[in-house]
Structure 1
Amino acid sequence: MRLNGPGSFWPSLAGVLFAVAAAFVAAPVHAQDMQSAPSFVDNFSSFDRSRWYVSDGWSNGNHQNCIWSKDLVRLSDGVLSLSFEKRKLKDREFACAEIQTKQRFGYGVYEARMKTDTGSGLNAAFFTYIGPQDKKPWDEIDFEVLTKDPSKVQVNSYIQGKAKNGKLVDVDGGADKGFNDYGFVWEKDRLRWYVNGKLVNEVTNPDELPTNPQKIFFSLWGSDKLTNWMGAFADPGRKVTMQVKRIAFTALGQPCQFPESLACTITNSN
């Protein structure tokens, strides 16, 4: 959830920007009009700075108890790590990590292979987002592991700043015990979420479907305010890390890009 951006709020101007998001009326976007960056697969053999922007030196709002730090984004042996640790930055006692694509993506298959850590009050997220700072309404599609209970992942979306389609679904074996595959298929008339190839949620109501190309995000952050949702925050006393082995986007109608891809088996008709 990006209450300011996933899971997030915009720094200090959150209320104003939310009002802008609510007031912004988007023109209908048709499939043929959806502008999208091309398909790609990133196995993190290196960190492609032409693709990724690393958040650094700010937070998404008062709900977040950490400041984004580029030092907590690391790459080693084909695994991207985003971490959370106790380190005072500005007015916060903790530091956290987020990356986002520089380009925007439209209808297609989005897939990430990742592993989370554990800890109450933390959120490990793979999602897409666009919002008022990009001169667009707030649209978002989420996978969020609230690491107080890594046996489940929350799937949901935001349409013009309003939460839709929220659902907690099981992650067999646990999001923290090994790498799992999280994917969603976004079409003009349907949105489907998958965990390890299994369909876990589907939306066909046109009023609950995003219509704006979005950036892809990964983030790990904490909150001592959103306790009803994320659990009571407790200092983990160690560095907490989420790991990502692969991220892929396959535009609708394009061939699948690796054997395990949802795009190899999921089509517009099933």
Structure 2
Amino acid sequence: MTTPTTSAIDPALDLFEFSQPYTSDGWLKSDWPAGQSSILQWSPDNVRLMADGSVALVLGRAPEGSNYSVQSGEVQSAETATTGTWSWTVQAPEMVSGAVFGLFTYKADWANQPWVEFDFEFVGGDTTRVQLNIHMENAAGEHVTLDNDGRNLVVVDLGFDASKEAHTYEVTVTEEKAVFYIDGKIVGEFTGADMPGGIWNIGPMKSYINLWAVQPAQEIWAGVWTDPGEPLVARIMGAEVRAGEYGSIYEANPEAPVAMPTEPADPDPMEEVAEDGTITTFSERSYVLADHVTNLILTGSASVDGTGNTLNNRLTGNAGNNLLDGGLGTDTMEGGAGDDTYIVDNGDDRVIETANGGTDTVHASVSFVLPDHVENLLLSGSANLNGTGNALNNGLTGNPGNNRLDGGTGTDVLDGGDGNDTLLGGEDNDWLIGGLGKDLLTGSMGADHFVFLSTADSGPTAAARDVMTDFSRSQGDKIDFSFIDGNLRLSGDQAFQFVGTAKFSGTAGELRYEYSKNVTLIHADTNGDGAADFSIELSKKTALFMDDFVL
């Protein structure tokens, strides 16, 4: 792959940088640390004009001496709209595990406006599928998403490889609904009825395009980022914000060559009846078992899905990335090669994977223990469930209920989500994210990271604050506040200033600790009123120093 170079020609986007003049049609090149990933910074150098007028976003290693390991490009529109259509014509990069290519709207006033966002996201190494998502805030200021329960993740099978040529992605947003289009075809339509609590709160939004690499806490979603050696390059052929205009205006290029099939269409599914009367269906395409059929075997290598019925089914995947959902009954699901996803709704459902069989994920609406060779578990629904890992490096994600997550051995990422959760890291170096609610966090062995994503994760009162049971400086544990803006009085994202045991001085961004009886309390003041905006409890008296924190 050749790293793109700049050239002067009519650009697909009218690019500008901070302090430069711009028009309402301009696109700002981001130039700051990426808020969604602690390993990455945005740089204008990674947004490049190509000889054909397209704009390239380049994801690669950060320059020597940088505080970050990865550097990439992001652009955002100067124009905003509350309702209308946002459009992007792009060619996705040749993606790898741990990479994300995003086309999305986002709140225009990032510091003060409630969260509102509509996403197309290419995640990990598969550019034949794209994820759709919606982010909003409810009346209590809580972040809610379209896939809140872990089972409603919307993944669109494109029918093409988005890295091979440009396609047009559009989202129309109104006061009542959002419609997602790809090349003029509707691929998703959502209203408040699809959001947790019936939420539909919108506001002014800009358009964004970015390409980035995940940090360890996000690996359950996108896979593990490993430097591929050569940069990843996304191409932007055009993007616009059509305020007050609704629906797709996509028109196919009449001069584009018509793709001819290079192989025959998938054959119709076939059935086989065993001597005992058991019926097995073989299919090269996504398939839902008929009521009388027990088994499904997916053939070929395409990324297709298999769905069971009310019987005790056996579903077997192929070499692609499969989604297997047994439905009702006690089901056995075996994905084979590829990055497979399993839907588990019965405590006796069985998931089978083999070594080197891809990176696999279980979505479970019941308590579940990950079997061997399965990496990730997402608890769905709202019941109080338990999730347990295995010897691999697992990602365990809770639901809105009160969950108990136990990583076991391996370097695990535990994310409790909402609810009053209990997180047990187990052996090795784990990442513990309590999320909302009053959480109990135990890292156990290894150098563990206790990560807090917002001030709402741990309230200032005893009834609301999280408790860390075994913070150990000698083991290399860290308390990570890097996702939280320490000073709300300034624009941007400021780090906290650690002041030890000194009292708050009325300066926003101060972080202090104190002893209370036999415990240690950590307090942070983000607005400068001299009172704690969030607090954390360590279950024993512990002297703390600045290098105990990631700020």
TM range (shorter): 0.7 to 0.9
Alignment partner, residue 264 of structure 1: none
Alignment partner, residue 144 of structure 2: 162
Structure 1 residue 150 displacement after superposition: 0.9
Residues 253, 79 of structure 1: alpha-carbon distance in 2 compared, 3 angstrom cutoff: closer
Structure 1 residue 87 displacement after superposition: 2.1
Alignment partner, residue 4 of structure 2: none
| Aligned equivalents of 2:130, 2:73: Cα separation in 1 | 19
Count of matched residue positions in the alignment of Structure 1 and Structure 2: 218
Of Structure 1 and Structure 2, the greater helix share is in 1
Residue in structure 2 matching 1:192, options 161, 179, 183? 179
Residues 247, 132 of structure 1: alpha-carbon distance in 2 compared, 3 angstrom cutoff: closer
Matches within 5 A, 1:1-270: 44-45=11-12, 47-49=14-16, 50=22, 51-61=26-36, 63-76=37-50, 77-88=52-63, 90-117=66-93, 118-130=95-107, 133-160=110-137, 161-164=143-146, 166-205=153-192, 207-225=198-216, 226-253=218-245, 259=251
C-alpha RMSD of the superposition: 2.5
- Which residue identity lines up with residue 46 of structure 2 in the other structure? L
SS in 2 for 1:188: coil
- Which residue identity lines up with residue 247 of structure 1 in the other structure? A
Structure 1: give runs of 5+ residues left out of the alignment.
1-42, 262-270
Residues 133, 258 of structure 1: alpha-carbon distance in 2 compared, 3 angstrom cutoff: closer
| Aligned equivalents of 1:216, 1:46: Cα separation in 2 | 12
Bigger relative contact order, structure 1 or 2 (CA pairs below 8 A, ≥6 apart): 1
Identity %, equivalent residues: 23
| Aligned equivalents of 2:105, 2:13: Cα separation in 1 | 22
SS in 2 for 1:92: coil
| Aligned equivalents of 1:258, 1:193: Cα separation in 2 | 12
Structure 1 residue 135 displacement after superposition: 1.4
TM-score (normalizing by structure 2)? 0.37
Larger radius of gyration: 2
8 Å CA contact retained: 1:84, 1:241 = yes
| Aligned equivalents of 2:246, 2:191: Cα separation in 1 | 22
- Which residue identity lines up with residue 144 of structure 1 in the other structure? E
| Aligned equivalents of 1:255, 1:201: Cα separation in 2 | 13
TM-score (normalizing by structure 1)? 0.73
Residues 91, 131 of structure 1: alpha-carbon distance in 2 compared, 3 angstrom cutoff: same
| Aligned equivalents of 1:256, 1:181: Cα separation in 2 | 10
1:62-87 deviation line (CA, Å, top 9, x unaligned) = x3421111100011222111110112
Of Structure 1 and Structure 2, the greater strand share is in 1
Which is further off, 131-140 or 242-251? 131-140
Residues 204, 236 of structure 1: alpha-carbon distance in 2 compared, 3 angstrom cutoff: same
